[in-house]
Structure 1
Amino acid sequence: MGLLEGNFALLLFLATLVTGLYWLAEKFYFLPRRKQAALDLEKASELRLAELKKMGITQVDQVVPDAQARLLMQPWWLDWTAGLFPVIVAVFLLRSFLFEPFKIPSGSMIPTLLVGDLILVNKFHYGVRLPVLNTKITDGTPPQRGDVMVFRYPPKPSLDYIKRVVGVPGDEVAYINKRLTVNGKVIDTTALPDFFDEDQMRYFKQFEEKLGDKPHRLLNDDDRPAFVQGADDFAFRKNCQYSVEGVVCKVPEGQYFMMGDNRDNSLDSRYWGFVPDKNIVGKAFFVWMNFGSLKRIGAFN
């Protein structure tokens, strides 16, 4: 399901912009004025000492260095704006163009990803995109079947979702009686030991499936029917035919068909339609932390 609600990228961009303006103001206006004030103080002190010396007074308390230090000190409000700019801009560039962290809040990608997994998403694999606008500015590797991809949820783009790419543009994807077929080829599965879900305290059927060159595990719930219940009225819905056995969809150009690995507990393209290329965020590839189980750390398919 959703990974993050609210446009954090926009907030980070605005924070970068605001702190950047204060950083420029500090560098080219406030700091030069403070330096000039400290220099003027030093010159005034030298003139005063010269006058006192003419009067025969040579023992004078030296308070100028302390006063200069206070004049040069950055005000607290600049500490919290201009001072934070280097850190904020580094985070902004890292998250926007290299790697972005996400937290898995739901079980739609079990058993590949568990609730609480903290993952890294490669932001340049599918092409570099402008922050906030998400407009692609460089070509990357097109999404492949089997990729685990983060994208903006089409019905509500403020939500980031994570699913597996099952169909690419031009593919015919069929999910009939809980068997996946792509372009007329049945995707073979191998039965594995049942998976125990600790949250639901029950077992699910577990299989290994191979999409492209990427083997991965998936779950089926024998208590859930094969047909899709409550599909939305999404764009290109005419490309999909629903029946009591499941669904068959022809993937339009520039669109992708996504499914969760927890097949019977995932709201995905079967329900809300295709993911346009403009909604792509990046390729998920690494679990960097799970505070409930450090064994989760590592790459995944």
Structure 2
Amino acid sequence: MNWKFWRKKSNVDKKKKTKTREWLDAIIFAVIAATIIRVFFIEAYTIPSGSMEKSLLIGDFLFVSKVNYGARVPITPVAFPFAHHTMPVIGTKAYWDGIQWKYRRLPGLSEIKRNDVIVFNLPVGDTVALENQEPSYYNLVRQSDWKTVNSQYTITSRPVDKRENLIKRCIGISGDIVSMKDGIVSVNGKAEPLKNTGQMPYKIQLKTTDVNFDVFAEIGFTVSEMQQINADTYIANASPEMIEKLKKLDFVKSVALEVKPETANDGDLFPLDPNRKWNVDNFGPIKIPARGWTVQLDSNTIPLYYRAIRTYEGNKVEQKGNTWYINDKPATSYTFKMNYYWMMGDNRHNSADSRYWGFVPEDHIVGKALFIWMSWDSTASFFHKIRWGRLLSGIN
């Protein structure tokens, strides 16, 4: 007879977990924990292009904070862990878009500030993968121009949080007025010259053709990328700090910023308005929309804000005669629901940024770049591939 019937059975009596079950539980726990950290706290990011040189180099590995601006609640919650939008190897979608939540963001530690380096989702909408190219190469097209894309392209539509990640510097915040003249950005009427973390093209004229270009390399120039115009003249990308050092060399005759004249028209810049003949060095002024700001709708403002009102804020926008309609109602003004930002690369002449696709809505913001935890130079020799001087360095 059991005289201790009131006692619970000991763990010994319970069926023990097998080693396989223990490992499986541990893996599931690790995946869940890592996913929560990645979505709501911090995520690793790799610099894929040179659009942020000199501040960030190709091969830099960063940590991006989700808590600084407040973590964005996943818009597409059903997704394969650790894959952004495409499954490795097999190349299929890594998410299910059958469920999509509204944009929501948790409270953050701070607001986005000017000159913050930010990771965000590509705002031009969808990406178009070219056939006969690697999957990582994309040709960007406007949503309104899909009809012009021929059969050699494969169009893939993605939710906001599954679009390509980009990293740029925030030049202007909501409510700011930005412009650019002769390669120098102005914010709210105040010139903001490029800092030493960025670079622009300069025309460099030398006094002699007999020059040791190792001197250029020591200053920080990439000699192999210097473009020779004639026997004694070159075009090269450089930071202001590098140019000051270069001017002190006795064999340098002159150095001048190489920018486009105001009369040049690049044609494919935001807002793709034939009445605005802008180029990468001269544009604006443009007012960045802010939540609660009301803009009057007319022939001058519609080209600037049409995409934000229609695509980013989800309204039906159309013109009937001389009248604009928003959601089938005549409209002479519109009040914005979100904050927007103006992003530009530090490598000003080698960056696809807000000059091409305009404002970045707040629901596209991923997080703030914190610091570099690893930097790998794939072009260097084996013993010099790690850029030791960049490890654990902050981002300015």
TM over 0.5: yes
Q: CA deviation at 1:82?
A: 3.1
**Structure 1 residue 265 corresponds to structure 2 residue 298:** no
Q: Distance in 2 between matches of 1:131 and 1:206?
A: 38
Q: Please, what TM-score do these two structures have when normalized by structure 1?
A: 0.63
8 Å contact 1:124–1:282 — kept in the other structure?
Answer: yes
Give ranges in structure 2 of 5+ residues lacking alignment.
Answer: 1-9, 77-102, 127-159, 200-215, 228-235, 242-255, 291-338, 377-384
Residue aligning to 1:296: 390
Percent identity of the aligned residues?
33
Partner SS for 1:105: coil
Residue aligning to 2:41: 98
**Structure 1 residue 197 corresponds to structure 2 residue 141:** no
Of the candidates 247, 252, 274, which is equivalent to residue 289 of structure 2?
252
From the superposition, tell whether residues 284 and 190 of structure 1 become closer, same or farther in structure 2 (CA, over 3 Å): closer
Of the candidates 181, 185, 190, which is equivalent to residue 186 of structure 2?
181
Of the candidates 116, 120, 130, which is equivalent to residue 151 of structure 1?
120
1:54-82 CA-partner distances (Å, limit 9, x unpaired) = xxxxxxxxxxxxxxxxx745374x46643
Partner SS for 2:356: helix
Q: Distance in 1 between matches of 2:190 and 2:270?
A: 28
| RMSD, matched Cα | 3.3
Alignment-mate amino acid for residue 257 of structure 1: W
8 Å contact 1:230–1:271 — kept in the other structure?
Answer: no
1:144-189 CA-partner distances (Å, limit 9, x unpaired) = 1100000011124410100000011111111121011111111245
8 Å contact 2:267–2:278 — kept in the other structure?
Answer: no
Partner SS for 1:196: coil
8 Å contact 1:256–1:274 — kept in the other structure?
Answer: yes
1:21-78 CA-partner distances (Å, limit 9, x unpaired) = xxxxxxxxxxxxxx99x959xxxxxxxxxxxxxxxxxxxxxxxxxxxxxx745374x4
Q: Distance in 2 between matches of 1:86 and 1:262?
A: 42
8 Å contact 1:121–1:285 — kept in the other structure?
Answer: yes
Q: Which runs of 4+ in 1 moved over 4 A?
A: 78-81, 189-195, 223-228
**Structure 1 residue 222 corresponds to structure 2 residue 258:** yes
**Which 10-residue stretch deviates more, 105-114 or 87-96?**
87-96
From the superposition, tell whether residues 185 and 199 of structure 1 become closer, same or farther in structure 2 (CA, over 3 Å): same
Q: CA deviation at 1:132?
A: 4.3
Q: Distance in 2 between matches of 1:130 and 1:299?
A: 27
Residue aligning to 1:113: 56
From the superposition, tell whether residues 105 and 177 of structure 1 become closer, same or farther in structure 2 (CA, over 3 Å): same
**Which 10-residue stretch deviates more, 105-114 or 199-208?**
199-208
Give ranges in structure 1 of 5+ residues lacking alignment.
Answer: 1-34, 41-70, 209-219
Q: CA deviation at 1:111?
A: 0.2
Of the candidates 125, 131, 137, which is equivalent to residue 74 of structure 2?
131
Q: Please, what TM-score do these two structures have when normalized by structure 2?
A: 0.49
User: Matches of residues 163-178 of structure 1 in structure 2 within 5 Å?
Assistant: 163-178=168-183
**Structure 1 residue 207 corresponds to structure 2 residue 243:** no
8 Å contact 1:260–1:266 — kept in the other structure?
Answer: yes
Aligned length: 221
Residue aligning to 1:213: none
Q: Distance in 2 between matches of 1:280 and 1:170?
A: 17
8 Å contact 2:70–2:105 — kept in the other structure?
Answer: yes
Partner SS for 2:349: helix
Partner SS for 1:271: helix
Partner SS for 1:84: helix
Residue aligning to 1:280: 365
Richer in helix (by share): 1
8 Å contact 2:221–2:238 — kept in the other structure?
Answer: no
Q: Distance in 2 between matches of 1:119 and 1:198?
A: 27
1:221-244 CA-partner distances (Å, limit 9, x unpaired) = 83777757353666xx77x94435
User: Matches of residues 57-96 of structure 1 in structure 2 within 5 Å?
Assistant: 72-74=16-18, 76=20, 78=21, 81-96=24-39
Q: Distance in 2 between matches of 1:296 and 1:228?
A: 39
